[in-house]
Structure 1
Amino acid sequence: MTAALGLDLRPVIEQQPDPVLFATVSGAHLYGFPSRDSDVDLRGAHLLPAAALVGLREPEETRSRMWDRDGVEMDLVTHDLRKFVRLMLRRNGYVLEQLLSPLVVHTTETHRELTALAPGVLTSHHAHHYRGFAGTQWRLFERNGELKPLLYTFRVLLTGIHLMRAGEVQAHLPTLTGEVTEAPAYLAELIAAKAEREHGGAGVDRDRVRADVERLHGVLDGAQAASALPGAPSGHDALHDLLVRVRLEG
């Protein structure tokens, strides 16, 4: 993946103050519609020492760093393992997409164990995450008319539908257009247009896309109602045991 981006990101990982358990590429590169000038969004988890969690000082559970490298804007955000696991258990599709991203910059045995436990946190209620995310992006599109939030709207709705039906987290929009039969046929054209520019007007028939977005909200509702996913996560104890073991091992 790093070779595909023309960047060696390993030194960035090695410079972090605490061990990085994993780092993957998220954002437009993961979603399948990066532009020529898209930044690189790195997401992952780090491991604080046990001493940082038992004293009076508040631990730095989330770390964020932005910088420019060879003309490319880089953005690295990592959470301490405990916070990351808690987010996994809160029906947060965003962190699951980061964990399960196939665009891996750095991995460890803990990353592989977390990935193996991910199915145990999937629930039918993850539909709420994608429904809410889609609403936020659609409102942004209505304000600025840009292509990026419109693609995000379609992407998250299709991710939610596919998750409800297949029990699988899939964030790659070109793949989703083939997996979800209700996906509008014109999405391929919008993806191609996004490759040329990060920002700019969508140039679409707003009434048409509004109708399609509303239709996909209905599809997501139906997929959630019919989903075989459980109503509550089953992986709490296994994640707790993993967290305790990894923390004590340091």
Structure 2
Amino acid sequence: MKKRILQELKQIEEKYAVKIVYAVESGSRAWGFPSQDSDYDVRFIYVPKKEWYFSIEPQRDVIEEPIHDLLDISGWELRKTLRLFKKSNPPLLEWLSSEIVYYEAFTTADRLRELRTAAFSPEASVYHYLNMAKGNVKDYLQKDEVKIKKYFYVLRPILACGWIRKHGTIPPMDFSVLMNELITDDGLKSEIEHLLDRKRKGEELDLEPRIHLIHEFIETEIEGIAQFARALKTNKADITPELDRLLLHTVEEVWTP
């Protein structure tokens, strides 16, 4: 599949007259709990030609290809990327932490990784993950019978918040790392590991009775994280000058013959 993904990325460069500087896996495969039929969620950062940055008209700053054959590919333009990076955008910080890198060129990703700690806002990230967990509970876990594979889309953001609460740093992407660090109850951990094993093996995980032990953990953690978030106040330095320099450097690096 990597060969197919690289071919698709090359076609995007040619179709849109851009250069891709970084492309990674960002979904369940990167989080460590894919099913056999999970999409490949490819996310990339791209740089348009220099002229794009000097137009007086608003320019589209996202490329989204139609999803087909389990392949979901989309990307952000560099300036949009840097603006979101400055705001400590959690999905973007995850891209930079992904262990499944499909393509990396030039120095952009390395420079962003060097600035991650300065850009990271615990407050912004906790609210992002908390809202994600709450939304997925509302969408998937309200009835007596639930799609139990959806527990992972609640558990992961909860554990990401737990990591921030414990360590104050950017949470790792891998679900197992989060689980082993933060879940100390052996019974709860065993339930989650069993569910994780079933999901990875491709067993049908459709509607089943809710798993009360996991459900109770989710409810307790969401309440505790909400309290933590309300009390969390952080300050971080303005890194706009560094990002301005990175923007100029990257455009020159990518497009200077």
Residue 246 of structure 1 aligns to which amino acid in structure 2? T
Instruction: Sort the Cα spacing of 1:38 and 1:64 in 2 relative to 1 into closer, same or farther, 3 A.
Output: same
Residue 104 of structure 2 aligns to which amino acid in structure 1? T
Instruction: Give 1:189-204 correspondences, 5 Å limit.
Output: 189-197=194-202, 200-201=205-206, 203-204=208-209
User: Structure 1 residue aligned with 2:9, among 1, 7, 13?
Assistant: 13
In structure 1, the partner of 2:45 is 45
Aligned-pair distance for 1:123?
1.6
Q: Is 1:245 aligned to 2:236, yes or no?
A: no
Instruction: Give 1:66-215 correspondences, 5 Å limit.
Output: 66-68=66-68, 72-108=69-105, 109-125=107-123, 126-142=125-141, 145-166=146-167, 167-182=169-184, 184-185=188-189, 186-197=191-202, 200-201=205-206, 203-215=208-220
Instruction: State the distance in 1 between where 2:199 and 2:183 align.
Output: 22
Instruction: Sort the Cα spacing of 1:132 and 1:147 in 2 relative to 1 into closer, same or farther, 3 A.
Output: same
Instruction: Sort the Cα spacing of 1:164 and 1:48 in 2 relative to 1 into closer, same or farther, 3 A.
Output: farther
- Which secondary structure does the structure 2 equivalent of 1:19 belong to? strand
Instruction: Sort the Cα spacing of 1:129 and 1:80 in 2 relative to 1 into closer, same or farther, 3 A.
Output: same
Instruction: State the distance in 1 between where 2:195 and 2:158 align.
Output: 16
- Superposition CA RMSD, Å: 2.6
Aligned-pair distance for 1:62?
0.4
- Gaps spanning 5+ residues in structure 1: where? none
Q: What is the aligned length?
A: 242
- Which secondary structure does the structure 1 equivalent of 2:71 belong to? strand
Instruction: Sort the Cα spacing of 1:15 and 1:213 in 2 relative to 1 into closer, same or farther, 3 A.
Output: same
Normalising by structure 2, report the TM-score.
0.83
Instruction: State the distance in 2 between where 1:51 and 1:222 align.
Output: 48
Instruction: Sort the Cα spacing of 1:181 and 1:208 in 2 relative to 1 into closer, same or farther, 3 A.
Output: closer
Aligned-pair distance for 1:233?
5.1
Instruction: State the distance in 2 between where 1:159 and 1:142 align.
Output: 19
Instruction: Sort the Cα spacing of 1:209 and 1:12 in 2 relative to 1 into closer, same or farther, 3 A.
Output: same
User: Is the contact between residue 122 and residue 233 of structure 1 (CA under 8 Å) also seen in structure 2?
Assistant: no
Instruction: State the distance in 2 between where 1:198 and 1:50 align.
Output: 49
Instruction: State the distance in 2 between where 1:141 and 1:85 align.
Output: 33
Instruction: State the distance in 1 between where 2:27 and 2:38 align.
Output: 9
Instruction: Sort the Cα spacing of 1:204 and 1:93 in 2 relative to 1 into closer, same or farther, 3 A.
Output: farther
Q: Mean Cα displacement is larger for which, 205-214 or 10-19?
A: 205-214
Instruction: State the distance in 2 between where 1:47 and 1:226 align.
Output: 39
- Which secondary structure does the structure 1 equivalent of 2:108 belong to? helix
Aligned-pair distance for 1:73?
1.3
User: Is the contact between residue 124 and residue 224 of structure 1 (CA under 8 Å) also seen in structure 2?
Assistant: no
Aligned-pair distance for 1:107?
0.8
Instruction: State the distance in 2 between where 1:149 and 1:205 align.
Output: 11
Residue 95 of structure 1 aligns to which amino acid in structure 2? L
- Which secondary structure does the structure 1 equivalent of 2:110 belong to? helix
Instruction: State the distance in 2 between where 1:198 and 1:86 align.
Output: 41
Instruction: State the distance in 1 between where 2:252 and 2:65 align.
Output: 27
Residue 34 of structure 1 aligns to which amino acid in structure 2? P
- Gaps spanning 5+ residues in structure 2: where? none
Instruction: Sort the Cα spacing of 1:231 and 1:221 in 2 relative to 1 into closer, same or farther, 3 A.
Output: farther
User: Is the contact between residue 89 and residue 233 of structure 1 (CA under 8 Å) also seen in structure 2?
Assistant: no
Instruction: State the distance in 2 between where 1:7 and 1:93 align.
Output: 28
Aligned-pair distance for 1:210?
2.9
- Which secondary structure does the structure 2 equivalent of 1:34 belong to? coil
Q: Mean Cα displacement is larger for which, 5-14 or 125-134?
A: 5-14
Q: Mean Cα displacement is larger for which, 210-219 or 139-148?
A: 139-148
Normalising by structure 1, report the TM-score.
0.85
User: Is the contact between residue 146 and residue 199 of structure 1 (CA under 8 Å) also seen in structure 2?
Assistant: no
